[in-house]
Amino acid sequence: MEDLPEALVQNILSRLDVPSLCAAASSCRRLHECTSQLIPHLKKFDLKEFPPSFDDLKGFLQHTSKLQSLKLDCLYLDGQDLSLLLKPSLEEIHFQNVDAGFPMLILFHGFPRLILSPLLPPPEFFFVDST
């Protein structure tokens, strides 16, 4: 890994999703440094399947000046101050598992593209045992 040209490593990392980037960054110092250089240039962040802690999310967003699309699972954001999501470059936010009482939605009134996916009942709710 150490012998690969940085441009090649950056190219490979730019094709990874966020969970894979985090895994790569934690595997060795070189990939951590390369990932840190890549984060400011990311335009899309899909964190629905990989919910970060609020502090990690804050850290990510402080370094993303070109972010245009952000996808988050609201189950992990209850009661947090989401004003940090209001970045000038951000054009789309997709909140998954939104509860009707999600307190911070008012912040996003008039947002260019706001997608809300409701909190779904547990899967067993959909199945009826016919026996």
User: What pLDDT sits at residue 117?
Assistant: 85
Tell me which amino acid residue 21 is: L
**Hey, where are the domains in the chain?**
1-41, 42-131
User: What pLDDT sits at residue 107?
Assistant: 80
**pLDDT, greater one: 75 or 117:** 117
Does the model's pTM come out above 0.85? no
pLDDT digits (tens, 9 = 90+) for 23-45: 888 899 999 999 888 888 888 88
Contact partners, residue 54, CB within 8 Å, separation at least 6: 76, 77, 80
Q: Is the pLDDT of residue 92 over 90?
A: yes
CB distance 10 to 35 below 8 Å: no
- Residue 104 burial (C-beta neighbours within 10 Å; 0-12, 13-18, 19+): middle
Nearest Cα residue to 90 out of 60, 119, 118, 117: 60
Mean pLDDT of 3-26: 87
